[in-house]
Structure 1
Amino acid sequence: MLRTLLSTIGLVGLAAAENGLAGWLRYAPIPGAERYRAQLPSHIVALNATATSPVYVAGQELEKGLQGIFGKQCTVHHAHGHWGAAPQVVVGTVDEYTKAYGALADAPELIEDGFWLSTKGQTVQILGQNERGALYGAFEYLSMLAQGNVTEVAYATNPAAPVRWTNEWNNMDGSIERGYAGASIFFANGVVVANMTRAAEYARLLSSIRINAVVINNVNANATLLSTQNIEGIGRVADVMRPYGIQVGISLYFASPTSAVQGQQNLTTFDPLDPSVVTWWTNVTEKIYERVPDMAGYLVKANSEGQPGPITYNRTLAEGANLFAKALQPHGGLVLFRAFVYNPINESVWKNDRANAAVDFFQPLDGEFDDNVVIQIKYGPIDFQVREPASPLFAAIPKSNVAIELQITPEYLGQQCHHVYLPPLWKTVLDFDLRKDNESSLVRDIITGKRFNKKLGGSAGVVNVGTNQTWLGSHLSMSNLYAYGRLAWNPSDDSTVMLQDWTRLTFGLNPSVIDTMVQFSLETWPAYENYSGNLGIQTLTDILYTHFGPNPQSQDNNTWGQWTRADGTQIGMDRTIGNGTGFSGQYPPEIAAMYDNLASTPDNLLLWFHHVNYTTVLKNGATVIQDFYDQHYAGAATAQTFVGMWQSLQGKIDTERFTDQLFRQVFQAGHSIVWRDAIVNFYHNLSGIPDEAKRVGSHPYRIEAESMVLDGYKTYAVQPFEVASNFTAIVTSTNTTVGTATAVLDFPAGVYDLGVNYYDMYGGNSSYCLYLNDKMVGEWVSNSFQYIGSNEAPRILGHQPSIYIDGHSATRVTFGNVTLAKGDMLKIVGTPSGIEPAPLDYVVVLPAGVVD
């Protein structure tokens, strides 16, 4: 029907303020829409009249989308009709279309969930192999139109894999483990919530990116989910998600039979081979399917991080998984069994290595898992780090079904407060060739079943949406959820293309917005890697606490196994076969040989596989320690540019989202410097090797808080030392004393940015005022990073908070374009609150273009 691509896009009039709830399904008007309105369908035929069917929903979605994008009002019908020459769109299954209109001339080859889309001629055909596929096709058509693409197309598309699930780590009390966007949309106070509005809205978003199942509760599960009341609640969630083609799954607590659960028998054992336990799970499963006949299945975490499992009874993990698989088999359900199985280990044993755990546990069991069990494998061997090699387990269990586990909620990667566009990271694993049996063995081909001829496989994404209207806590973080769905359908999809599509759908068709957003987002992962842990050392966050801010010394001297083995002369894990932990030998021979050799190991994974001197020379000519210095400074410098890039979008996107994200970019810029300084100071102190560029420890634009004239303030030795400039901060002398810190400025007259580094602790709402010559420059409140600027609503970042003065609570507020002269008096007044003693680290006086 329509034969052109909208090319005269120009600047679109700004829409009303948007809160992010619509995600990429805004259906915003596009420029020039009126020119195409007459050619668009006037009638929508949805070949199912049942209001809860995905085809019926597809008809409603098409009606809404055509109205929103083009202002085109359409009539929805549910049977074949004759409307003369008026264009129409028909959506339904291939079978229903054939009954109504006759067989297609060239019937597409579709598998489950696949669809055919043709915009040629007077009738747009959107035909699914099943109803879910038809709905996917409707969203595809609307996505094209919303991006200004009205060209003629005719193609069929099929999913690369049948498992396209999300995992939501929601707890029964309404909290979300590693969730940064508010409370659960599924649970509160121990039960399933009554209001299903957000659950339905989430199902709509997921359906549009072709996700087919949602596990609604935490992998660290609670037996009370299986109560009679909550099974009914699960049913209500399933009822609102079903029309969107979304099935519901649940995580299980392995020891549930021994727990007191309403409506269920209480046993004295959870041994997976005990007949009473088998009967218990069979009965519970039947009860669930009575209420939720299309339940997707179970997700199980067992014998890891203190969770009970089959090993408790000296049973194998396969015996544990098969317990649930057999209960599900009559109902067609799947078991996704996590390969995240490890125990605390002794660091003093050189050959101990947590990275070995997955292969050690699962490879001997290959072939023992039932056909409806899928082993869910984290993309790397440790735990969602900023860079990891592909897990060798993907190649180690060719007889088993496998799925890749990705994390959309970036637990170790900024917790939605640092923007990190993740698909380029994911693609390093998906596109990696493991060379099993010396043949091409791309991870993406393994998880889709192509490489080892498996029928089951796919992707599981840890998403953790919350009640925040942005869903994930940040508007830009939704690009990761969108791309996850795209990759689950087609793991070969391109990171840049997905980002361009998401930007057009989310922020409109202005070319400068698209170009800026794409450039900015593609730079975020390399920047974050550079300022948080490069050379394969992994994310140098605090692994003992919140996993948010920097704390490199927390990596070692514990039993968790995320070690760097850093000392005064050497750093890195020796994972070689001969002298190290042997981890490199878990890969097929070609890959093992590459990683086992220092010379052939890529620099970006060097410290993952090798324990080397700080003075070891890299392929780029720098030493390990100098590259640490250089890249951490480079990464933080790049993060500063994100602020200006985002500011360039002012007036080109709506004010609400612009302002909200600008706040986050300013925070990321400041916190990247906290990261940079913590890492370079720590390793400079540890190694004693100076920075060739003389940057580490040199801060000519800073005024240390402890060097100011203090009244009501006292000095405080910060721990860990590296997260405070000069290792020292100041705090009020008591929690009721107002503190004042003053300094005479010794900078040439000019216009500067004034930055104040302080600590925003959980448990207090300290307030601060900044004065220049007794004239207020600005004020702010330390309240979960709640900033009060002129005429701006407060905005709160959602990362895991800290009750300490540390790298998690460290942050910066900046006041731009301040005119000052030599001899001016700078004063900060801090008023403590609760446990928070108005802590300050330093003031920085920055000339234009200078990065602290």
Structure 2
Amino acid sequence: MAAVLQESFASRQHRNLGFIARALLCLACLAGVAPLHAETGAQAWLRYAPPPDPPRYRDMPHEIVRLGHAPEEQAAAEELETGLGRMIAGAPETLPAFHRDIDAIVLGTADEMRRSESMQRHLHGYQPVPLAPDAFRITHVRNRARQCWVIQGGSPRGVLYGAFRLLQWIAQDRQLPTDTTETPASTIRWVDEWDNLDGSVERGYAGPSIFFDHGHVRGDLSRVHDYARMLASVGINGITVNNVNSDLRTLQPEMLEEFARIADSLRPYGIRMALSVDLSSPQVVGGLPTFDPVDPRVIAWWQAKVDEIYKLIPDFAGFTVKADSEGRPGPHQYGRSPLDAANALAKPLQAHGGVVLYRGFVYNNHLDFHDLKADRARAGYDNFRAYDGKFLPNVIIQVKHGPIDFQVREPVSPLIATLRHTPQAMEVQITQEYLGQQRHMVYIAPMWSWVLDTDMRVDNQPSPVRDIITGKTFYQAQGGMVGVANVGMETNWLHHPMALANLYSFGRLAWNPTLTPESTLDEWTRMTWSNDGRVYEPIEQMNLASWHAYEQYTGPLGLGTLTDILGTHFGPGPESADGNGWGQWIRAVPGPHGGIGMDRTVATGTGYIGQYPPELAAKYESLKTCPDDLLLFMHHVPWTYKLRGDDPGDKTTPSAKGAPTANDADDESEAKTSTKTVIQHIYDAHYAGAATAAAFVDQWESVKSLIDEPRYNEVHALLVFQARHAEIWRDAINDWFARESGVPDALGFVGHHTGREEAESLPGTGFHTVDVSSWETASGGKAAVCNAAPCELHTTFRGAANPYRIQVGYFDRHPGAAQYRLLVNGTEVANWTADDMLPPDRPDDRLNGHTATRFVAEGIRLKPGDTISLEATPDDKDLPAVDFLEITRDPRWN
């Protein structure tokens, strides 16, 4: 021990020199003279960049004393070595015992601290306190002239969480508190990964699975190790690694041995692995003639299978189950209930400490659209209410936060307020299935907080959702949140660098649902991008505006996202909303005397509103009190129904220039006294949301010199894509509603596009005209398609001499990469490759809202008589399809 300490003291002078050098480097960075190093995003928020004021942390110890030997404690010490070494000075080292003559960060549980003779002898000022298993306490203790930090965990996992929190404070350049205790609000803080054994990821938008490839667990699981580290840093303690639409091979013995390797990679970070299972497994895998959950042979099979799993994976977390929904087999096949199935799995898990998360996502996807009482939103309540209190204690009902399917805004599922005697975990989607699929920046935490803050008014008492799911309201020992994450093999995990804000904020809200989306975003932004206010302030402004903007340019007033629900859920497709069996209906009735919205009232509709506690139900039932942002989810109203104007975030009033924008409302009172009609709000909101998306590009460009080039360019390209796609959404939805309602836009913008010429009307060679089946996604409902080069379109400019913006609307089909050139008087002014689309779930060669996109050339100087030409060259998988050319004054040059 003495030799170790002597070596430590000898190396301190060297580390102090390192500290000085690092401080000078940071000062140089602030002065703007140091280069910005290229980054890939692989480290996410665990970059551990030096804070702007290293002297603030000059007393931070360089020694780490680890009292325990659990894997989580070893990981905690290693993390401190890495983080402090990068952020402060030198290379911290870990020692086996405490000594009075050292500054140290001491790690351990209460029992380990009591058993440590060195700590008892030399650190009298600290007394361990009782803590919950995952809780931690961080305390600053002065030991004579020495500075000590003690991180006590209620368990080794708590120690790890405490180490991460200390590093996060430094990475965020925070003042360190002297004594802080944190306890997670709930026991279930899980992520679900919808990964398939073949390596694909359902509703995943960042490349193939990090877990599986070609039917097996990957040979190299280093990326799983890195992911576990990220998750643990925000307090996640469980992960279901395979798709809820479970592969039938999952429970085969040879696959379980492979799954055990994943569990080994997760274990050092305190994350327990769970598996999604198919209820037909006793029959398909086990060879039984039935999978009836009450059959004794089936019960015995599940018992043997659970015992087999725990021999391989001693800390196995349990099962996630999707059944009787969207084609998945379930107990209904035998006339049994979710209660029978859940308990059959839960009983053998009980002895091992495992749980069953049984998804409340059970509904009929073959509903009759013509039945005005049919309502998918009712399904969760109708299917589970009768079994409340009858499930075994280790059954947790996993309830989607809304009653439909992760739409841009839904009311809280009434099932959440109904299960008084059954633990539940609220399921949200981190992956942006209906929210732009990580090609659009949408910070979702404000929506989650809106849900968590919703007061369900159970028994006319305050009952916010956050208190129900964490067990406070109904005195449940279990509960929490599950986020469907779906990371992939792309270097930055979720394709869009900004999307990681959602993963980070989910973890923080699962840990503490009272946190605000502003605070979690600020934490993430500082650690991911910079502690420089010139950087984090515009990034936070953009993100905080993004959810409402997306809602505006897709589906406001509770309509849902209005995407193609029969396809990949990416681009606009309002025509698909009604007339199918999926139940995501908007019930649009055409004509000026028609209307829009689902009648879910008790009085005249489906009765869905009656599933809420009486006080909240009364609020939704009455048009006088139903909030505008949920109006069309709850009520069917005429197109010309006048809104209450109760949305303080709605700024869609006309600007002085005559165009509705996101930021031109004079004040909040104008919106609140609005007598705007439903149809006019739909028109205006789509213009306002698209304008906000366009503003994101300008905001991002303001930080160009302060961000490393690779990440800057990546985000810039995505924001430009979003701005153009938001315009596609705007035009498609507004054109569709204008035709459907027969009510014109009072401001005269919908259907009118200054400077636009339809491609099919332009002279040229090689193009032929086709009808676009999703007519609203093409200007004029048609496009000009090139089958074989050469293909050209031409127009003659007749306006005044000025710089102009030339916009080309076209369809970028997947896969494939058509080539385009834009010329003025035969001279090329722009060229691009049509390979910008995010690959959907399947190849898509159709002309629709998923493949529609736009290219913009800015600052092009034109004069009367100039010839503008577009040349297109197909490849064998992407035949160029052009919608329009549009020439407008360039606001950046005029």
TM superposition score normalised by structure 2: 0.90
- 1:696 equivalenced with 2:750 (yes/no): yes
Change (3 A) 1:30 1:596: same
Answer yes or no: is the 8 Å Cα contact 2:128–2:152 preserved in 1. Answer: no
Change (3 A) 1:601 1:36: closer
Match of residue 125, structure 1, among 144, 150, 154: 150
- 1:325 equivalenced with 2:342 (yes/no): no
Secondary structure of the 2:706 match is: coil
Distance 2:374 2:175 in 1: 58
Q: What residue identity is the alignment partner of 1:302? A: A
Distance 1:801 1:119 in 2: 57
Distance 1:190 1:340 in 2: 27
- 1:293 equivalenced with 2:314 (yes/no): yes
Distance 1:515 1:800 in 2: 38
Q: Residue in 2 aligned with 1:681?
A: 735
- Tell me, which stretches of 5 or more residues in structure 1 are unaligned? 1-5, 786-795
Secondary structure of the 2:496 match is: coil
Q: Residue in 2 aligned with 1:433?
A: 455
Match of residue 505, structure 1, among 501, 514, 527: 527
1:442-476 alpha-carbon deviations (Å, 9 max, x no partner): 11000000000000000000000000011011110
Distance 2:751 2:317 in 1: 55
Shift in Å, 1:781 = 1.6
Distance 2:743 2:56 in 1: 66
Distance 2:68 2:223 in 1: 25
Shift in Å, 1:738 = 2.9
Structure 1 segment 337-416 matched on structure 2, within 5 A: 337-343=358-364, 344-416=366-438
How many residues are paired up? 826
Q: Residue in 2 aligned with 1:40?
A: 60
Structure 1 segment 610-649 matched on structure 2, within 5 A: 610-619=635-644, 620-649=674-703
Shift in Å, 1:747 = 2.5
Answer yes or no: is the 8 Å Cα contact 1:199–1:240 preserved in 2. Answer: yes
Q: Residue in 2 aligned with 1:111?
A: 132
Distance 2:67 2:519 in 1: 33
Match of residue 183, structure 1, among 205, 208, 233: 208
Out of 394-403 and 114-123, give the one that drifted further: 114-123
- 1:221 equivalenced with 2:238 (yes/no): no
1:227-254 alpha-carbon deviations (Å, 9 max, x no partner): 2222111111111110011110010011
Q: What residue identity is the alignment partner of 1:90? A: V
Shift in Å, 1:285 = 1.2
Secondary structure of the 1:239 match is: helix
- 1:309 equivalenced with 2:330 (yes/no): yes
Answer yes or no: is the 8 Å Cα contact 2:759–2:793 preserved in 1. Answer: yes
Answer yes or no: is the 8 Å Cα contact 1:444–1:491 preserved in 2. Answer: yes
Q: What residue identity is the alignment partner of 1:657? A: R
Secondary structure of the 1:473 match is: coil
Q: Residue in 2 aligned with 1:495?
A: 517
Change (3 A) 1:679 1:445: same
Q: Residue in 2 aligned with 1:840?
A: 882
Out of 401-410 and 147-156, give the one that drifted further: 147-156
Shift in Å, 1:439 = 1.1
Out of 775-784 and 596-605, give the one that drifted further: 775-784
Match of residue 863, structure 2, among 798, 821, 825: 821
1:146-188 alpha-carbon deviations (Å, 9 max, x no partner): 1122434311110000000000000111000000000000011
Answer yes or no: is the 8 Å Cα contact 1:415–1:798 preserved in 2. Answer: no
Distance 2:889 2:68 in 1: 66
Secondary structure of the 1:678 match is: helix
Secondary structure of the 1:356 match is: helix
Shift in Å, 1:29 = 1.8
Q: What residue identity is the alignment partner of 1:89? A: I
- 1:556 equivalenced with 2:578 (yes/no): yes
Out of 355-364 and 754-763, give the one that drifted further: 754-763
Distance 1:374 1:409 in 2: 22
Secondary structure of the 2:351 match is: helix
Distance 1:434 1:98 in 2: 45
1:252-300 alpha-carbon deviations (Å, 9 max, x no partner): 01111222x4xxx311211101111111111111111111000111000
Q: What residue identity is the alignment partner of 2:200? A: S
Distance 1:463 1:656 in 2: 24
Out of 591-600 and 772-781, give the one that drifted further: 772-781
Q: What residue identity is the alignment partner of 1:185? A: I
Structure 1 segment 580-591 matched on structure 2, within 5 A: 580-591=605-616
Secondary structure of the 1:92 match is: strand
Shift in Å, 1:797 = 6.9
- Tell me, which stretches of 5 or more residues in structure 2 are unaligned? 1-22, 645-673
Distance 2:562 2:31 in 1: 43
Secondary structure of the 1:703 match is: strand
Match of residue 849, structure 2, among 804, 807, 811: 807
Match of residue 84, structure 2, among 58, 66, 80: 66
Out of 770-779 and 206-215, give the one that drifted further: 770-779
Answer yes or no: is the 8 Å Cα contact 1:297–1:328 preserved in 2. Answer: yes
Structure 1 segment 241-256 matched on structure 2, within 5 A: 241-256=266-281
Answer yes or no: is the 8 Å Cα contact 1:548–1:799 preserved in 2. Answer: no
Out of 167-176 and 68-77, give the one that drifted further: 68-77
Shift in Å, 1:373 = 0.5
1:77-113 alpha-carbon deviations (Å, 9 max, x no partner): 1x323261x3210112122122212487554442120
Q: Residue in 2 aligned with 1:98?
A: 114
Answer yes or no: is the 8 Å Cα contact 1:109–1:156 preserved in 2. Answer: no
Change (3 A) 1:715 1:279: same
Distance 1:106 1:590 in 2: 48
Secondary structure of the 1:39 match is: coil
Secondary structure of the 2:795 match is: strand
Answer yes or no: is the 8 Å Cα contact 1:167–1:464 preserved in 2. Answer: yes
Task: Give the structure, 1 or 2, with the largest relative contact order (CA under 8 Å, sep 6 or more).
Answer: 1
Distance 1:798 1:572 in 2: 29
Q: Residue in 2 aligned with 1:740?
A: 792
Q: What residue identity is the alignment partner of 1:396? A: T
Secondary structure of the 2:200 match is: coil
Q: Residue in 1 aligned with 2:831?
A: 779
Q: Residue in 2 aligned with 1:89?
A: 105
Distance 1:392 1:325 in 2: 25
Shift in Å, 1:731 = 0.3
- 1:144 equivalenced with 2:161 (yes/no): no
Distance 1:375 1:178 in 2: 22
Q: What residue identity is the alignment partner of 1:99? A: R
Q: What residue identity is the alignment partner of 1:362? A: F
Q: What residue identity is the alignment partner of 2:263? A: A
Distance 2:234 2:840 in 1: 25
Answer yes or no: is the 8 Å Cα contact 1:136–1:207 preserved in 2. Answer: yes
1:297-352 alpha-carbon deviations (Å, 9 max, x no partner): 10000000010011110001011111110121111101000000001211111011
- 1:269 equivalenced with 2:297 (yes/no): no
Answer yes or no: is the 8 Å Cα contact 1:766–1:781 preserved in 2. Answer: yes
Identity %: 43
Q: What residue identity is the alignment partner of 1:402? A: Q
Match of residue 303, structure 2, among 278, 282, 287: 282
Answer yes or no: is the 8 Å Cα contact 2:811–2:847 preserved in 1. Answer: yes
Shift in Å, 1:601 = 0.2
User: Root-mean-square deviation (CA), in Å?
Assistant: 1.8
Out of 298-307 and 700-709, give the one that drifted further: 700-709
Shift in Å, 1:36 = 5.2
- 1:80 equivalenced with 2:97 (yes/no): yes
Secondary structure of the 1:434 match is: coil
Distance 2:376 2:456 in 1: 20
Shift in Å, 1:707 = 2.1
Distance 1:752 1:107 in 2: 70
Distance 1:36 1:590 in 2: 52
Answer yes or no: is the 8 Å Cα contact 1:413–1:528 preserved in 2. Answer: yes
Shift in Å, 1:849 = 2.8
1:165-213 alpha-carbon deviations (Å, 9 max, x no partner): 0000001110000000000000111111111100000000000000001
Distance 1:237 1:747 in 2: 64
1:553-573 alpha-carbon deviations (Å, 9 max, x no partner): 100000000000001111100
Shift in Å, 1:15 = 3.4
Distance 2:436 2:689 in 1: 14
Answer yes or no: is the 8 Å Cα contact 1:181–1:798 preserved in 2. Answer: no
Q: Residue in 1 aligned with 2:715?
A: 661
Distance 1:150 1:414 in 2: 37
Distance 1:801 1:26 in 2: 36
Q: What residue identity is the alignment partner of 1:780? A: W
Shift in Å, 1:833 = 1.9
